[in-house]
Amino acid sequence: MKSKYFLFLTLLGTLVAIPAWSQDNAYNQLAEIAIIDQKIMMPMRDGIRLCTDIYRPKTDQPVPVIFVRTPYNFNMWGDGEMHTRTLQSAREAVEHGYAYVVQNERGRYFSEGEWDILGVPLTDGYDAFDWLQKQSWCNGKIGTQGCSSTAEWQMAVAALDHPAHAAMVPQSYGAGVGRVGGFYEQGNWYRGGAEQMLFFAWLYGVEQDKFKPRIPAGATQEDLIRISRFYDLSPENPPVGMDTALAHLPVTDILQNIHGKREVYDKMIRRKPNDPDWYTGGLYHDNTDIGVPSFWFACWYDVSVGPNLALFNHVRETAPDPQVRDNQYMVIAPTLHCGYTRATENTIVGERSVGDARLDYSSMIYGWFDYWLKGDDKGQLDAMPHVRYYTMGSNKWQAAEAWPPADARMQTYYLTSGGNANTMYGDGKLTTQLPPQDHADQFTYDPMNPVPSHGGNVCCTGNTIQGGARDQREVEARQDVLVYTTEPLNEGIEVTGNIESVLYVSSDAKDTDFTIKLIDVYPDGRAYNLDETIQRVRYREGYDKEVFMRPGQVYKVELSPMATSNYFAQGHRIRVEISSSNFPRFVRNLNTGGNNYDESEGVIAHNAIHHSIQYPSQIRLPVRN
């Protein structure tokens, strides 16, 4: 859980950890340049008060605000990485002439009320803007910033279009995106109608019990400051082996089985991808406008790079205000979730070196805020491409004015075989020509023996998955994995953009899943994963209905887009893997056609991928010359 736990802290730039024993000294150093006002209980419209710390420059002139709102514990007197970064982030903001304001969502730590994911209601964010704007030390301009759970609330609040909300910097923000375009992920809960298991583990580590200790009503600010120095309302669940915990059936009982708090989980696990309840909380959906200039940050190995890119494009295409529409910028780094500042001159993502992926994030972000919050035009925007992305393989930063880059053209690769594409030792091939013969590759999917997740675009699953690019050959040795590979490339190919895939499938089960991965195969055989997706077949015709399969019938299944920027060097090969499970990255389909979440027993499915002129199973890659 650690990676998710401190994600909001990525306040950009190279941050050096402060040892716990030196925090008093760090606080004193900050106090030399900042007015520090901690444990302010900011009132919301319903009377609930949210705990807020404020750090602002020692000046009589009003200053702009960088506002960070989070479910995580920012009490600076703790001894963890999260606490020390509060001091660092505050100091950096104050040195740049900003007030740094950090607030806990309702129901978290010293904030009053009951917590729900994304800190609903949305009015809390709006009310905080109102309160800050009225302070004598605020110049009326507020920028929001944060990574992961500290980013994810920003989009829905930006759609409320508060006049003081001048700019935002959301990073790794996918869990705040409900529906955008063809993605119905509902805050990373789903991918292609199959549940992603990251929130199962995350909720165990984050959600606090309803019987937790609470500060009595009416406690003074002095009392709260004193208490916070030795008691921070931060209970922790005992550590558990999530690899074992997530394998429990039925899925509804996973948290109960490890004695976790269940209220939020119990209501979410029963929702379907288009359930009305997804549209009443804190998620952003594409039927509302975002009225804020935005500097977006995504990662190639994040859990939600596809929806992130789709949202960026959606705002650029649909925002009614031309100034907002034209001032959307994005950086895509070759890292794991919120891993921007951990890039080095030899950045290793999983097991693969992707070279020197560093950027001066601090200068970029503060240049952005200086423009929108201070009116300081240093040519920052003139020098910025709308999209800055890192191409793995060639290991370089590149720039474009749109996503995908305008010069990317779609190249179709067809799946073909002699009927035995099982394992990397089979005869599965990727070719630019339609298959000359009709064949179907068959495999048996046993939900009690699913294909294990190995690397990938992940976050927050405890000890179950180590993310990033990892050699897939052990997975590709399984009989329930179909492998299709090109011949060695005569010349290098850059693939940059959104990746589309269409499979023609059949099964003897009423419902099952199909998974796909895109792989870069090195001349020595190493097979590094780039992106992956899944589709629950019952939702192949849309997420507002369920349509089950019939034995012997072939169905067209379009999977949600993948995305990457990767240079396949000369001598490398392009590969796709296809199966019916990727566990515990995604919940297993038990193949019954039932609810799945409340079932303990599955049935074995005999699945097939068809490839022919009639059934042209394919993957379409965006190729740049």
345-373 pLDDT, tens digit per residue, is 999 999 999 999 999 999 999 999 999 99
pLDDT band with cut points at 50, 70 and 90 for residue 9: very low
| DSSP conformational letter for 302 | S
Averaged over 135-164, what is the pLDDT?
96
Residue 493: is its pLDDT beyond 90? yes
Cα 213 off chain centre by: 32
Determine the length of the chain.
625
pTM of the predicted protein model: 0.94
Residues 71-117: tens digit of each pLDDT: 999 887 766 566 678 889 999 999 999 999 999 999 999 999 999 98
Q: Output the six-digit token pair for 350.
A: 């999983």
pLDDT for position 79: 61
Report d(CA 573, CA 602) in Å as an integer.
36
Residue 17: is its pLDDT beyond 90? no
* Residue (of 35, 170, 135, 15) closest to 86 by Cα position: 15
Averaged over 176-180, what is the pLDDT?
97
Report d(CA 550, CA 313) in Å as an integer.
38
pLDDT for position 171: 97
Residue 11: is its pLDDT beyond 80? no
215/582: higher pLDDT: 582
pLDDT band with cut points at 50, 70 and 90 for residue 403: very high
**Do the beta carbons of residue 160 and residue 126 sit within 8 Å?**
yes
* Residue (of 14, 337, 357, 295) closest to 158 by Cα position: 295
Averaged over 168-177, what is the pLDDT?
96
* Residue (of 557, 419, 117, 437) closest to 428 by Cα position: 419
Residues 441-479: tens digit of each pLDDT: 999 999 999 999 999 999 988 788 999 999 999 999 999
Q: Which domains does the chain have, with CATH numbers?
A: 2-187+283-400 (3.40.50.1820), 409-624 (2.60.120.260)
Residue 65: is its pLDDT beyond 90? yes
Report d(CA 164, CA 126) in Å as an integer.
10
pLDDT for position 21: 42
Burial group, residue 523, by CB count within 10 angstroms (0-12, 13-18, 19+): exposed
pLDDT for position 410: 98
- HEC assignment per residue over 599-613: CCCCCCEEEEEEECC
Residues 237-259: tens digit of each pLDDT: 899 999 999 999 999 999 999 99
pLDDT for position 10: 35
- Residue 258 makes CB contacts below 8 A (sequence gap 6+) with 204, 240, 245
Amino acid at 595: N
